Amino acid sequence: MTKAFADNAQCILESLNRYGKITNQRVNFGKSEMYLPRRVGVDASKQLSDQLGLKVANMPFKYLGVLIASKRVKAKEHQTMVERIDRRLAGWKRKLLSQAGKLTMINATLMAIPAYWMGSTWLPNTVPEEIKKKSSRLPLGK
């Protein structure tokens, strides 16, 4: 590891410690991970990991339930979102809701979950199409 690389790592550590003192919040290094570009070699990653006390992790990863990636992700990687929508829709008690209530629940569920994901990632066109198909199959009758 070059001296500049080591100095930068030390600067990061000092910044995290300074932030902790100012905000009275501490970084939990046991739970924290760092994500490095592929161009950083294995040896440099290991040295940086040892110096900072952080694990090296790979992309893509999930943060607050949303897939974070350095490039566009395929539709199959968004399947967990579609499954969440399925679970939410399956749990409704159809007989207890009026038609207007069902429509409101459908809109709330089918819009809120994807909107949350789209705030941080790009969705392939096939994902909204699949959600639309699922919503059109829902029975709204009595």
pLDDT of residue 31: 85
pLDDT tens sequence across 19-53: 999 999 988 888 888 888 778 888 888 888 888 88
pLDDT of residue 22: 94
Question: How are beta strands 66-68 and 61-63 bridged, if at all?
Answer: antiparallel
Give strand ranges (E) for the chain.
33-35, 55-57, 61-63, 66-68
Q: Are 54 and 33 in contact (CB under 8 A)?
A: yes
pTM of the model: 0.49
pLDDT of residue 83: 79
What distance in Å separates the CA atoms of residue 136 and residue 17, rounded to the nearest whole number? 52
pLDDT of residue 138: 65
pLDDT of residue 57: 85
pLDDT of residue 140: 58
The b/e string for 77-111 (b: 16+ C-beta within 10 A; e otherwise) is ebeebbebbeebbeeeeeeeeeeeebeebbeebbe
Q: Name the DSSP class of 32.
A: -
pLDDT tens sequence across 86-97: 777 776 666 677
pLDDT of residue 84: 78
In the chain, what are the domain boundaries?
3-58, 69-136
pLDDT tens sequence across 50-82: 888 888 888 777 777 777 776 776 777 777 777
Q: Are 27 and 20 in contact (CB under 8 A)?
A: yes
Q: Which amino acid is at 77?
A: E
What distance in Å separates the CA atoms of residue 116 and residue 99, rounded to the nearest whole number? 26
User: Is the model's pLDDT at 1 over the cut of 60?
Assistant: no
Give 130's pLDDT tier (boundaries 50, 70, 90).
Answer: confident
What distance in Å separates the CA atoms of residue 73 and residue 39, rounded to the nearest whole number? 20
